[in-house]
Structure 1
Amino acid sequence: MSQIHHPSILLSSDWVNTIREHAPAAEALGQLHPAQLELVYKQQWFNLLAPASYGGLQTPLPELVKTEEALSWADGSLGWVVTLCCGAGWFGGFMEPDLAREIYHDKKACLAGSGAATGTATVSGNGYLINGSWKYASGVHHATHITVNCEIISNNSAMLNADGAPLILPFVIDRNDVQLLKGWKYIGMMATGSDAYSINNLYVDKSRCFEIEPDAAVVKEQLYIYPFMQLAEATLAANLSGMAVHFMDLCVSAFANKATNLRRVNGANVLVMNDALTSCTDLLNKARTAFFAAVDASWQDAQNQGLLKAVSSASRVLAKTARGCVDELYPYCGLLAASPDTEINRIWRDLHTASQHALLTFLE
């Protein structure tokens, strides 16, 4: 089994300091702090998956998941926003080229959106009339464009796809044409600004509609032929892994503090805590190693259904392992981990909020 590296090796210490220094203020703001955003723009992290032909970084998936794990290790909310927004930026590989060039001409281009099909797009002339509301669009406050999934309506009836189910297609909308709504009120991921949004009777040209299927890729590169489901599963799992590593890093000082300040924690108790940390670190690293190996293998042969299924499985195992390790270690951290003003508590809240994502809830 190859050696697994700590996520920190991928990030400059100055970047990590900037991200973490402003994390508490970002949580209070309910969105990324301007200093964090400036770093994101400078490093083009929102464009990690945007096509190179439009100025994006077009990052190969094996490199991407390690980068996103590292960013979530630095801070869960920032890593999550970058992941979700650059994930929406991946849609640039499927958009009409003139529109994509217009969007990515802005060096601060950022796409956000929701995967829920809670809107309608009614065929109207040479375009569509968009209506609906959507929840939980991470990074929406920084977005230049918003993506929406809509049920296609024609002649007062839902259009159907080849399977006989309602036809659902995504659209990309200018941020100024979208009404933001307060909607994120959960215990964690507070700096993601994952608020809701709505659109009322907005006419858009048909060029704003696209399909997310390998055969529909406009940019004929490997990244846009790779299946969206496994890309989404892998990137979200990498985020949970990064948060778990960060929590476990902080356990070292939390355990030392408990051992020093509580008389009832004797040498045997300290050994129990340290053994648990060692065991959980090994367990998480094994899951990380298997996960990265599965992603690497699928990247070499994205048409192999067995390899793709292995990515789905490894992503779910990594998510479950990350959450399980944190939960095993949490009781040893003392009240420090229960105080909302501490870094370790913020990580605990972020991980337990992010891990509620339905995509990684159940093992297959």
Structure 2
Amino acid sequence: MHPSKNLKPEWVNIIRAAAPEAEQASKLQPAQLELIYEQGWFKFLVPQAYSGLQLALPQMVRLEESLAWANGSLGWVVTLCAGAGWFGGFLDAGLAAEIMANPQLCLAGSGASTGTATITGDGYTINGTWKYASGAHHATHITANCIIKNGGETVLNNEGEPLILPFIFDKKDVRVFPAWKYVGMMATGSDAYEVKDLYVDKNRCFKIDPQYTVVNEPLYRYPFLQLAEATLAANLSGMAVHFLDLCGPAFEERMKNPRLTGTQKEYIKQLLADKINLLNETRAEFYGAVDNSWNSFELDGADGLQRVSSMSRKLAKVSRESVDKLYTYCGLSAANPDTEINQVWRDLHTAGQHSLLTFES
């Protein structure tokens, strides 16, 4: 099914009309954010107990692909910030209820363990700097991974490795600063942030592990790795579908070139048809894996989850390679940074650098 089927045309118009200004400002625009808040997209994975949507994984992944099809930066910000909302299933219930009732809730953050949390009384003192916090400028709260310290000593886990735990901070306690200078995903505002000598109560720390789930629902027992892989792959897929959509009119314009032979014109047309078929076949395989895994992950163990991992990587690869194969035949407009097709190309290749989807296995 084409990603457009999950979105109302007026939503797509709002998202895309604001896209050029969002790129210039390096953050989503008020009209886009108003739509996100209205539809509760930042709350895809927030528990229903805390006013969230608590969507089943298959439904959420399809919606995120559709949003990435509408605009790469918006889809990515929603995906990353909604993904952090999943932490609501593991947070202290009292704190989660307080934080997540906000209708403009937005959790940004980083998975890198580039900070420290030193045990201090009944809490922790936090110091650190983190990069790539998509949506940080709209965030109400920021999450971060920290290495746990006891005095000057690093606390070790049961495997003898440094103990790393995630924390959640109020936005006012975090300094966000410019650090996102890449060719694509410019409107994500994925800047860096810093925390200095911040004391937080112990309830600001949580553990992402099924045995520490506070909200006893399947969504919060599903493994975080496959959840992340599937949602990121769906973003690349959505951007790839958008690019292939734009190839249609781009190729029609190329057909007017009198220097192209009939054979060359037929080759371009057939190439587009082949890549559309390949991408759609891979999308179908991917969604089959996601659906089967969601329905059986607590019964069949690792097999279904491994299938999600492998299909996420395959979908990412097919998305990147299909776009690159077609790009050559789109003409100079595809290389013009002021065009929509170039923005999509830049967004996909920037998002495609994410480490979770770089290698096929």
Q: Which bin holds the TM-score, normalised by the shorter protein?
A: over 0.9
Match of 1:51 in 2: 47
Match of 1:281 in 2: 276
Q: Is 1:359 the equivalent of 2:329? A: no
Match of 2:291 in 1: 296
Residue of 188, 202, 207 corresponding to 1:206: 202
Give per-residue Cα distances to partners, 1:273-323, cap 9 Å, x unaligned. 111101111111111011000001110122320100000000000000000
In the TM superposition, what are the counterparts of 1:187-336 in structure 2 within 5 Å?
187-260=183-256, 262-303=257-298, 304-336=301-333
Amino acid in structure 2 at the alignment position of 1:19: I
Instruction: Name the count of aligned residue pairs.
Output: 359
Q: Structure 2: how far apart are the matches of 1:96 and 1:104?
A: 12
User: Conserved in 2, the CA contact under 8 Å of 1:259 and 1:266?
Assistant: no
User: Conserved in 2, the CA contact under 8 Å of 1:73 and 1:245?
Assistant: yes
| Runs of 4 or more consecutive aligned structure 1 residues displaced over 6 Å after TM superposition | none
Q: Structure 2: how far apart are the matches of 1:9 and 1:295?
A: 19
Q: Give the TM-score normalised by the residue count of structure 1.
A: 0.98
In the TM superposition, what are the counterparts of 1:1-364 in structure 2 within 5 Å?
5-260=1-256, 262-303=257-298, 304-364=301-361
Among all aligned residue pairs of Structure 1 and Structure 2, give the percentage whose two residues are the same amino acid.
59
- How far did residue 70 of structure 1 move? 0.3
CA RMSD, aligned part only? 0.6
Give per-residue Cα distances to partners, 1:144-194, cap 9 Å, x unaligned. 000010000013111111111100000000000000111100000000000
SS in structure 1 of the partner of residue 259 of structure 2: coil
SS in structure 1 of the partner of residue 148 of structure 2: strand
SS in structure 1 of the partner of residue 160 of structure 2: coil
- How far did residue 267 of structure 1 move? 2.1
